[in-house]
């Protein structure tokens, strides 16, 4: 048995889970129960973000600018769940990330490392394009009209130092100095969430569930600038009555430097349980 090199416990939290969330009702108590879950589902990017302090402690802060991770969300995480995060050294080059609830159920499982990910060249990412305005009328996303093998509409996102710091404090409870101050880094969870916002930039859909991410960090991502998110629709499919979409993407600095490349898999139409 491999001994964990770093562990952390955190109690999962969500601000006012009973509040309606029209953009994605599954992240509310009533919406989660309507679809057969016991409570509001906490967003996958927030759960992933709670694991990042363990990653940095285990393999160093270089990971933020030259590291990779692949994570799958295997079970829901609910407000109040006591989560145990572990990093295990499995091969000398790659590490395993585990996040279990108090019942011993594995909610998140990942693999990560420094340098270039083994799957990096498999991602289809368009070149830099300036952000575009959303359409006046957004179509409802479906398996039939998904833009498979086409670029997604690029999106520009202005992120101030104050907004970046607030995200780290409010949604991540992360007081690490690198995400605050005069020149803060953008929290990894914020960056990972931009693929969801990119798809919403062109389509209406939901309720939705984050299923999997592959993330390659390429350069430091600082707040206090307008970032651009570009994307490419890799595929859509149906499994167990859920409708999935897989999008590749990139996040760019205001100087058109690629900061991150990623693949985001989501259930955009959730089957009721």
Rounded to whole angstroms, the Cα distance separating 43 from 46 reads 5
Q: How many residues does the chain have?
A: 273
User: What pLDDT sits at residue 2?
Assistant: 62
3-state secondary structure the chain: CCCEEEEEEEECCCCCCCCCCCCCHHHCHHHHHHCCCCCCCCCHHHHHHHHHHHHHHHHCCCHHHHEEEEEEECCCCCCCCEEEEEEEECCCCEEEEEEECCCCCEEEEEEEEECCCCCHHHCCCCCCCCCCCCCCCCCECCCCCCCECCEEEEEEEEECHHHHHHHHHHCCCCCCHHHCCCCCECCHHHHHCHHHHHHHCCCECCCCEEEEEEEEECCCCECCEEEEEEEEEEEEEEECCEEEEEEEEEEECCCCCEEEEEEEEEEEECCCC
Rounded to whole angstroms, the Cα distance separating 61 from 120 reads 20
The 8-class DSSP code of residue 26 comes to G
Token pair of 53 as six digits = 């302090």
Q: Is 28 exposed, middle or buried (0-12, 13-18, 19+ CB in 10 A)?
A: buried
- Specify the CATH number for the domain of residue 19: 3.10.129.10
User: What pLDDT sits at residue 119?
Assistant: 97
Domains of the chain: total: 1
Rounded to whole angstroms, the Cα distance separating 55 from 25 reads 31
Range of the domain at 16: 4-269
| Cβ 128 vs Cβ 256: under 8 Å | yes
Task: Say what the pTM is.
Answer: 0.95
The pLDDT profile of the chain, 273 residues, written as one tens digit per residue, is 566 788 999 999 999 999 999 989 999 999 999 999 999 999 999 999 999 999 999 999 999 999 999 999 999 999 999 999 999 987 767 999 999 999 999 999 999 999 999 999 999 877 899 999 999 999 999 999 999 999 999 999 999 999 999 999 999 999 999 999 999 999 999 999 999 999 999 999 989 999 999 999 999 999 999 999 999 999 999 999 999 999 999 999 999 999 999 999 999 999 998
137-183 pLDDT tens trace = 999 999 999 999 999 999 999 999 999 999 999 999 999 999 999 99
User: What pLDDT sits at residue 127?
Assistant: 85
């Amino acid at each position: 048995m491999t001994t964990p090199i770093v562990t952390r416990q955190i109690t999962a939290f969500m601000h006012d889970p009973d509040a309606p969330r029209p953009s994605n009702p599954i992240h509310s108590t009533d919406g989660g129960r309507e679809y057969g879950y016991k409570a509001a589902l906490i967003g996958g990017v927030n759960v992933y973000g709670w694991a990042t302090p363990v990653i940095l402690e285990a393999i160093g802060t270089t990971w933020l600018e030259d590291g990779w991770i692949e994570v799958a969300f295997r079970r829901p995480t609910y407000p109040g769940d006591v989560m145990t995060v572990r990093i295990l050294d499995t091969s000398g080059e790659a590490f395993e990330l585990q996040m279990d609830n108090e019942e011993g159920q594995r909610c998140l499982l990942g693999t990560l490392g420094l340098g270039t990910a083994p799957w990096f060249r498999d991602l289809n990412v368009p070149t830099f394009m300036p952000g575009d305005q959303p359409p006046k009328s957004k179509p409802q996303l479906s398996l039939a009209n998904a833009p498979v093998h086409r670029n997604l509409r690029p999106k520009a996102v202005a992120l101030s130092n104050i907004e970046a710091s607030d995200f780290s404090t409010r949604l991540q409870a992360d007081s690490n100095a690198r995400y605050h101050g005069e020149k803060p880094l953008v929290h990894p969870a914020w960056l990972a969430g931009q693929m969801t916002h990119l798809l919403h930039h062109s389509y209406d859909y939901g309720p939705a569930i984050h299923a999997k991410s592959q993330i390659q960090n390429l350069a430091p991502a600082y707040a206090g600038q307008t970032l651009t998110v570009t994307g490419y629709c890799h595929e859509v499919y149906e499994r167990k009555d859920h409708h999935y979409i897989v999008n590749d993407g990139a996040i760019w600095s205001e100087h058109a430097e690629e900061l991150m490349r990623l693949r985001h898999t989501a259930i955009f139409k959730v089957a009721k349980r």
